[in-house]
Amino acid sequence: MSSSLPSTLEPIVRDVIAPAAEATDREGRFPRAALGALGAAGLLGLLSAKAVGGLGLGLAEAAQGVQRIAQDCPSTAMVLTMHYAGTALIEKYGATELRQAIAAGRHVTTLAWSEMGSRSHFWAPVGTARRDGDTVVLDGFKSMVTSAVEADSYVWSSRPTQGDGASSIWVVDSKAAGLTRPTPFDGMGLRGNASAPIKAEGVRIPFANLLGEDGNGGELMNNDELPVFTALIASSSIGMMDGTLARATAHITKNRFAESGSSICDLPTVRAYLARAQIRADQARVLRDDALAAMAAGRADTMLRVLEVKASAAEAALEVTDTAMRICGGAAFRKDVGIERLFRDARAASIMAPTSDVLYDFIGNALCDAAAKKD
Amino acid sequence: MSSSLPSTLEPIVRDVIAPAAEATDREGRFPRAALGALGAAGLLGLLSAKAVGGLGLGLAEAAQGVQRIAQDCPSTAMVLTMHYAGTALIEKYGATELRQAIAAGRHVTTLAWSEMGSRSHFWAPVGTARRDGDTVVLDGFKSMVTSAVEADSYVWSSRPTQGDGASSIWVVDSKAAGLTRPTPFDGMGLRGNASAPIKAEGVRIPFANLLGEDGNGGELMNNDELPVFTALIASSSIGMMDGTLARATAHITKNRFAESGSSICDLPTVRAYLARAQIRADQARVLRDDALAAMAAGRADTMLRVLEVKASAAEAALEVTDTAMRICGGAAFRKDVGIERLFRDARAASIMAPTSDVLYDFIGNALCDAAAKKD
Amino acid sequence: MSSSLPSTLEPIVRDVIAPAAEATDREGRFPRAALGALGAAGLLGLLSAKAVGGLGLGLAEAAQGVQRIAQDCPSTAMVLTMHYAGTALIEKYGATELRQAIAAGRHVTTLAWSEMGSRSHFWAPVGTARRDGDTVVLDGFKSMVTSAVEADSYVWSSRPTQGDGASSIWVVDSKAAGLTRPTPFDGMGLRGNASAPIKAEGVRIPFANLLGEDGNGGELMNNDELPVFTALIASSSIGMMDGTLARATAHITKNRFAESGSSICDLPTVRAYLARAQIRADQARVLRDDALAAMAAGRADTMLRVLEVKASAAEAALEVTDTAMRICGGAAFRKDVGIERLFRDARAASIMAPTSDVLYDFIGNALCDAAAKKD
Amino acid sequence: MSSSLPSTLEPIVRDVIAPAAEATDREGRFPRAALGALGAAGLLGLLSAKAVGGLGLGLAEAAQGVQRIAQDCPSTAMVLTMHYAGTALIEKYGATELRQAIAAGRHVTTLAWSEMGSRSHFWAPVGTARRDGDTVVLDGFKSMVTSAVEADSYVWSSRPTQGDGASSIWVVDSKAAGLTRPTPFDGMGLRGNASAPIKAEGVRIPFANLLGEDGNGGELMNNDELPVFTALIASSSIGMMDGTLARATAHITKNRFAESGSSICDLPTVRAYLARAQIRADQARVLRDDALAAMAAGRADTMLRVLEVKASAAEAALEVTDTAMRICGGAAFRKDVGIERLFRDARAASIMAPTSDVLYDFIGNALCDAAAKKD
């Protein structure tokens, strides 16, 4: 972990992100000021190489940042996650100028992968790309794009222009002609994300905007993106658990029964709920840390950890926020203690592609394949 | 069950309640039109004796009505539940004129029991009642009253005017001087309830508004109210499960993956989630039916069923709505399929006093007491 | 329920079954004395028509008996369940003489359906039946037959002798030449069942031993057997929960901490565990009662209840016995309080075909099919 | 982790421990040969300082060893855990000669702390110690001592001889006059432990056998023992999960349905069960690793991790072994696949003092205390 990251980030959370969090949720307002502050502090370029003006930090620091922000505003954390997710591919395969813009904090990007037709199976896009000389014409319908209304570019998946590869990945300027964005979703949680479906009809972009090889999108998705995306989404879930547990513990410690003068936390059943939740949160945290360590070291079990880390944290966050709602009772239900929003926001990670259930299937397959090979 | 109740209720749900449900939730709008229609059809007087102009039906029919309405608008179901809860005491102990007003559909009542000081321990109010000749002066702070802003009367708990009884119960005119209602809560669910805290400062009411004996509030709460309240809240939870399962099953049956042409329900894991949820819902339903049968027959295990029925249904509803969110994925999260509201609304029953955890303690005590007596 | 059944059964449980229960489990000893006593009292013929000398009672009474016995000896309850399961088909389709023997308590039967090859998919046997004049020659390998070593006959499934029906059902004399039984299983629970695999090699039986039509086994399984079998297995699980809860409640009520003089049940967390377990048991019980009522009345939802009832009770029994092990701690682990055996025995129902997971799939399919038809 | 440990341990597990595991469980036979082999290889002295002839390794290596052995014989792992638990105190506070005997593999020790009177609250023994010159006379009744019948010494807790400390800790020769051991327990699991209650009546030992200060037992328990004990018990649970998952994965991969030719692992529901179980096991594993890292570094959150690690692993093992029983079905129930024993053995850790529920209470208290101090 970077020791300087907290000193840079903490004032931004305290002065910009946390004060706006309630309105971000209530009004579904995109956290533009937060992105401005993060950009100004260099944090939008956290993953960008120093050569292009970035901080040159790694996934562990990105995870640390996302986790901290998610404690106070999960919408901002998700927007940043998707920006880092796009940046990871652009840094490796993209144009220098674009990389410089990101590093400088002038450009926000995001992933545009999920489709109505393929549902959570984002690895098999049905949208098309047709080559026309130096350009490519994209058609397709993305069902749910974080920051859709506000990002400067989309890292976009389509079928390849030729061959039988699973997909190709492109950078698409969000102002390109032919893109339409219906009204942002009115969702149960993560309401400040400006998430929306995006329709592409005859969108013409330079062929040079291709990331990696035409038809090699699957490799980029699995090898380059999946580790980044799953670690960051998991970190967002962990941050929400931290924020929830801190608020819940404070609530049950400070509020008393008039009848007896005792605190809510004097109830053994409440302490037991809290303890179970803390263990769940800590299990998810250390598994995430271990996943990051596995990736950094190229350990043999890296892919298992990549598949595990998001489901591990997302499912734990369902339980932890549910427990917090229970032990804080009516106060939490009435939005008094700030837990209710984290409860709603935490529901997203489990059903965001690859969903927990899809990941379970991948993990089960991987374990059985390994066992079958043993004989 | 009454065979005529559905024929009366169904058109009201279809034409009045369901069409308004989305706005009731989004805008936190009290379902005034629904109450008007229910009143006009005699259903606000469902529990009222025929002698005062009511339908003279029983708890089973009230449960049937609440359950049906909760499928489409849990806020309306909760307002009606609290009206019936108040009516049950008023019918037994109240003034004829008031009973006639309720029977005629001109008067909506509700319970005002929970207090900030006593938290979920509503059986030990800290608010006071001071006798002054033929009148009583009430002071207290109710933390959360359903229909607070809209009801015509409150069935109000306080300490007794004298003696060491646990409480006394009064009917308080909602327009009485000295009552103040802060803004209704902006809650996570049941947003159309017009729920609010109510402060009573020197509220003067006739002593004749006493329900039962002064100091005997505990008996009214336990013997008269608890069976009614727990059965109706449970029925509301059951209705929400029914509404959720119907929507979820329809969603997974009709939506297909473009990649393969298969439906979501072709996934065995999804079918298994659905089946577990259906069993949970049906277990809660039949336990509720058994509780009603026990009450009607005065069975020896009636009190156990009264203590079980609300927690049984409320906890099942937490699981069932959670499962529905999972199997319907992003569509449910985005409010498309109508499950998200039921998910939020269903969170209330578990933490509404007596909370599931308080009921668990009562049940555990009852079982251990019975075992201790066996020797 | 029959009011005379308890007065007949209670002394048998008290004087014969309960005293032998510990040895039945420890030594894996078949409860022969119990069967003798049940036969002498007419209870092996409980489902047999009065015309053949039976008690002429119904499934509800059979369930009541199995439930009572399972409180003290689940092995005996399972042997009886399988006897009733076989009897249900024999009563409807079998020879009068055999029916008379069962009614008289001289003949114990059982089902022999599960196969190694088909695993839990008993509806698709791979064993064969070859017609030879008035006889049929059976070959096959049944993987797990309750009472295998001790029953007088097996109700046996095979492929039909001709046609493409799924199966045919036969009564096979357990002393027929060609039947071999390996040593009974040394299982984790239900150790007194004398369960074993059975191999049939060229077993010749009269064609007249066919139950129903050749090839119609599927109809007998689904229409005649499934309701009986699932209701009785569920009742066995419910009895185990009753037995477990009674022992656990007694243990935590009577045992005290020397340090403080308080009972284990003075711990609120323990009371909460107990209460949740009691609710789970009661939910399973009332769902079973409702399933019996649905069958008796031919209700439209009968098949749903048939599919639900076994999984509902079996899964509840997993939780309830697990909770009892937890709250009784070391004493339960050390067999002191009689819970440990019920914990082990209760594991069987969930994985006995049709397993809970198979039933979940059937239920999910049924719900989705019904939803698909609505449009 | 030590790289040489596996090369020393693996042949012992393969050649001595695993082959005896089945009989160890079935006959409740103490794993004497395993202890002989471990002693000969120096592994009974793994924690002993090199100065007294030990291997001079640390807790991480002890955990590694216990985890490996628990995959194949949890009884042996538990006996070794208790030996290490006793050794940790003896190494710090005990006599050189005893330390040398342990290091040389000639002496097996164990903890004798749990009492009938204090139940799982081992920190408050009710047994007494009376000083008599250079000797001490012990009276007391230990309810459950691992290796009771076979160990060479007991690390024994009592009230102090004077003062108001919570307890004192002594080394007691297992052959001392006045010690009586009833028959070993016939338990559900860990059947090879030779666990038994031990009664001490006027047992006279040298006062010099005191470990630490008289009355300071609480400090030894909390500071010296708790980290060792919880980390090793957790490691035993993790080993059991590893052994279970390996066997379950092999079973579902290799066994096929005759009907379709597909493997059990072709069922998506089975893969999902397996994946969830693997995540639970890995969460427990990495939390244990983090606890060891916290202890080694003296991190500020060490005590939280110490309190979490045992409950985290023990509860995960309940789930993981339960899932394995489910997905391996009848084969597991019939002891065919070796999972059934691990399932039974895994039940012990959760209810072994400090039980999971006691640890939850400690954790809840710690979290609330920390929150209360923040203001």
Helix, strand, coil % (nearest 5) of chain D? 60, 15, 30
Mean pLDDT, all residues of chain C: 94
For D269, the closest chain B residue by CA position comes to: B269
Residue type, D224: D
CA angle C60, C64, C69 (to 5 degrees): 150
Q: How far is B100 from chain C (nearest CA, A)?
A: 38
SS3 of residue B171 by DSSP: strand
* Chain B CB within 8 Å of residue C364 CB: yes
Q: Which of B173-187, B309-323, C181-195, D244-258 has the highest mean pLDDT?
A: B309-323
pTM of the model: 0.96
Residues of chain C neighbouring B249 (CB-CB closer than 8 A): 367-368, 370-371
Tell how far CA D365 is from the center of its chain: 25
Mean pLDDT, all residues of chain B: 94
* Chain C CB within 8 Å of residue B293 CB: no
pLDDT, mean of residues D352-362: 94
* Chain D CB within 8 Å of residue B272 CB: yes
* Chain C CB within 8 Å of residue A268 CB: yes
Q: Using alpha carbons, select from C295, C365, C314 the residue that is nearest to residue B278.
A: C365
What the block records as the tokens of C290 is: 């409702």
Report pLDDT digits (tens) over A277-332.
999 999 999 999 999 999 999 999 999 999 999 999 999 999 999 999 999 998 89
Residue partners of B29: CB distance under 8 A and separation at least 6: B20, B23, B192
Residue type, C320: V
**CA C356 to CA C315: how far, in whole Å?**
8
Residues of chain A neighbouring D368 (CB-CB closer than 8 A): 249, 252-253, 263, 265, 271, 274
Q: How far is A200 from chain B (nearest CA, A)?
A: 18
Mean pLDDT, all residues of chain A: 94
Report pLDDT digits (tens) over C17-36.
999 999 999 999 999 999 99
**DSSP string computed for B8-72:** HHHHHIIIIIHHHHHHHHHTT---HHHHHHHHHTTGGGTTS-GGGTS----HHHHHHHHHHHHTT
Residue type, C340: E
Instruction: Check whether C325 has a pLDDT greater than 70.
Output: yes
Instruction: Check whether C185 has a pLDDT greater than 50.
Output: yes
**CA C92 to CA C95: how far, in whole Å?**
9
* Chain A CB within 8 Å of residue D261 CB: no
Best of D116, D264, D269, D351 to mutate (most C CBs within 10 Å, chain C): D351
Whether the CB-CB separation of B269 and B259 falls below 8 Å is answered with no
Strand pairing category for C109-112 and C153-158: parallel
Backbone dihedral region of A284: left (phi > 0), alpha (psi from -120 to 50 degrees) or beta? alpha
What the block records as the tokens of D151 is: 């160990």
Instruction: Check whether C119 has a pLDDT greater than 50.
Output: yes
What the block records as the tokens of A229 is: 């995306």
**CA A187 to CA B329: how far, in whole Å?**
12
Q: Which chains touch D (3 or more CB pairs under 8 A)?
A: A, B, C
Nearest by CB to residue D326, choosing from C269, C343, C350, is: C350
**CA B308 to CA B295: how far, in whole Å?**
13
* Chain D CB within 8 Å of residue B275 CB: no
For A269, the closest chain C residue by CA position comes to: C269
SS3 of residue B157 by DSSP: strand
* Chain C CB within 8 Å of residue D331 CB: no
What the block records as the tokens of D315 is: 């509860």
SS3 of residue A120 by DSSP: coil
Q: Please, which pLDDT band fits residue C39 given cuts at 50, 70 and 90?
A: very high
pLDDT, mean of residues B304-310: 98
Helix, strand, coil % (nearest 5) of chain A? 55, 15, 30
Report pLDDT digits (tens) over A327-352.
999 889 988 889 999 999 999 999 99
Residues of chain B neighbouring C363 (CB-CB closer than 8 A): 271, 274-275, 278-279
SS3 of residue A1 by DSSP: coil
Q: How far is C158 from chain D (nearest CA, A)?
A: 13
Residue type, B13: V
**CA A274 to CA B143: how far, in whole Å?**
25
Nearest by CB to residue B372, choosing from C253, C284, C364, is: C253
What the block records as the tokens of C28 is: 């894996």
**CA A158 to CA A167: how far, in whole Å?**
5
Q: Please, which pLDDT band fits residue D3 given cuts at 50, 70 and 90?
A: low
pLDDT, mean of residues D133-161: 95
Whether the CB-CB separation of B295 and B263 falls below 8 Å is answered with no
Residue partners of D354: CB distance under 8 A and separation at least 6: D120, D122, D310, D362
**CA D6 to CA D13: how far, in whole Å?**
10
What pLDDT score does C336 carry? 80
* Chain D CB within 8 Å of residue A265 CB: yes
Who has greater pLDDT, C149 or C66? C66
- CA distances (Å), origin C370, targets B75, B278, C304, C306, D230: 29, 13, 11, 16, 52
Q: Which residues pair with B203 in a beta bridge?
A: B138
The residues of chain A scoring below 70 in pLDDT are 1-3, 116-120, 257-259, 375
Q: Using alpha carbons, select from D92, D91, D160, D153 the residue that is nearest to residue D125.
A: D160
Whether the CB-CB separation of A59 and A228 falls below 8 Å is answered with yes
Whether the CB-CB separation of C20 and C33 falls below 8 Å is answered with yes
Q: Which residues pair with C270 in a beta bridge?
A: none
Question: How crowded is the C-beta side of D332, counted as CA atoms within 13 Å?
Answer: 29
SS3 of residue D315 by DSSP: helix
pLDDT, mean of residues C275-285: 98
Quote the strand ranges of chain D, DSSP E: 109-112, 128-132, 135-145, 153-158, 168-173, 179-180, 196-206, 210-211
What the block records as the tokens of B311 is: 């927690």
Q: Which chains touch C (3 or more CB pairs under 8 A)?
A: A, B, D
pLDDT, mean of residues D211-217: 97
Q: With both helix axes pointing from N to C terminus, report the angle between C339-351 and C74-93 in degrees, rounded to the nearest 10.
A: 40
What the block records as the tokens of A368 is: 């059985």
Give exposure, B306-331, as e/b (b: 16+ Cβ within 10 Å).
bbbbbbbbbbbbbbbbbbbbbbbbbb
For C276, the closest chain B residue by CA position comes to: B360
Pairs of CB atoms within 8 A across A/B: 118
What pLDDT score does D1 carry? 44
Q: How far is D115 from chain C (nearest CA, A)?
A: 10
Instruction: Check whether B258 has a pLDDT greater than 90.
Output: no
Phi, psi (5° rounding) for residue D343?
A: -60, -45
What the block records as the tokens of D361 is: 């209470």
Residues of chain B neighbouring D272 (CB-CB closer than 8 A): 269
What pLDDT score does C158 carry? 96
Q: Please, which pLDDT band fits residue C373 given cuts at 50, 70 and 90?
A: confident
Residues of chain D neighbouring A362 (CB-CB closer than 8 A): 275
Instruction: Check whether C102 has a pLDDT greater than 80.
Output: yes
Whether the CB-CB separation of D61 and D205 falls below 8 Å is answered with no
**CA C246 to CA C324: how far, in whole Å?**
10
Instruction: Check whether B1 has a pLDDT greater than 60.
Output: no
Identify the DSSP state of B167. B
Question: How crowded is the C-beta side of D218, counted as CA atoms within 13 Å?
Answer: 10
CB contact under 8 A, B371 and C268: no
CA angle B170, B172, B176 (to 5 degrees): 150
Q: Which residue has the tokens 């500071």?
A: D223
**CA D127 to CA D113: how far, in whole Å?**
10
Q: Which residues pair with C141 in a beta bridge?
A: C199
Give exposure, A346-369, as e/b (b: 16+ Cβ within 10 Å).
bbbbbbbbbbbbbbbbbbbbbbbe
Instruction: Check whether B250 has a pLDDT greater than 80.
Output: yes
**CA A179 to CA A172: how far, in whole Å?**
10
- Dihedral angle of Cα B287, B292, B293, B299, to the nearest 10 degrees: 100
- Dihedral angle of Cα B193, B196, B202, B208, to the nearest 10 degrees: 20
Residues of chain A neighbouring C323 (CB-CB closer than 8 A): none
Report pLDDT digits (tens) over B59-73.
999 999 999 999 999
Residue partners of B14: CB distance under 8 A and separation at least 6: none
SS3 of residue C103 by DSSP: helix
Residues of chain B neighbouring C304 (CB-CB closer than 8 A): 278, 282
Containing C196, the helix (H) or strand (E) segment is strand C196-206
What pLDDT score does D262 carry? 84
Question: How crowded is the C-beta side of C291, counted as CA atoms within 13 Å?
Answer: 32
Residues of chain D neighbouring B272 (CB-CB closer than 8 A): 269
Give C263: exposed, middle or buried? Use CB within 10 Å, 0-12, 13-18, 19+.
Answer: middle
CB atoms within 10 A of CB C256: 15
Tell which C residues from 181 to 220 touch D, by Cβ distance under 8 Å: 185-189
What pLDDT score does A186 carry? 83
Tell which C residues from 164 to 183 touch D, by Cβ distance under 8 Å: none
Instruction: Check whether D334 has a pLDDT greater than 90.
Output: no
Nearest by CB to residue A188, choosing from B119, B333, B355, is: B333
